Amino acid sequence: MEAAFCLVMIVVAFPVARDISAYHCILLLSNLALPSGLNHDSTLIALVFTFIALGSAYLAITYHRLVLLVSAIVAACVALEQLMNADTLLTNIAYVDAGLTAWVLIIVVIGWRKWPKQRY
């Protein structure tokens, strides 16, 4: 389900926010690396979240997006927590993920509202 959402966001965000589209490519690759329904060891989870953190940080620095910087910080914290074999953040990440997703959707909607004016 999350991978399908990433695919939709890649297509929808590409014309108006290529950085958001690239961010969802990172999330799609991360979702494919951790198939759902399986038990994963904390090292693999830490590697995946490190990949998300590095990709998000690069996009945040390149495109000057605060939401991507916040995503990078959250992913780095989860990766560090997984290396310490704790599960507090990973268990409660759904709330943070919902907030970041809402923030990204607002950016894409605003981009689509401005898009017709920018074409002329």
Mean pLDDT to the nearest integer, 77-106: 90
Please answer whether residues 119 and 93 qualify as being in contact, where contact means their C-beta atoms are separated by less than 8 angstroms: no
Express each pLDDT in 4-44 by its tens digit. Answer: 999 999 999 999 999 999 999 999 999 888 877 667 788 88
* Alpha-carbon gap, residue 82 to 110, rounded angstroms: 35
**pLDDT score for 24:** 96
**Per-residue DSSP letters for 46-84?**
HHHHHHHHHHHHHHHHHHT-HHHHHHHHHHHHHHHHHHT
What does the pLDDT read at residue 120?
A: 57
> What pLDDT shows up at residue 38?
66
Q: How far apart are CA 106 and CA 50, in angstroms?
A: 26
Residue of higher predicted confidence among 110 and 34: 110
pLDDT computed for residue 91 by the predictor: 81
Its domain, for residue 66, covers 2-118
Query: Are 71 and 56 within 8 A, CB to CB?
Result: yes
Domain count, the chain: 1
- Report d(CA 72, CA 37) in Å as an integer: 25
pTM to 2 decimal places: 0.88
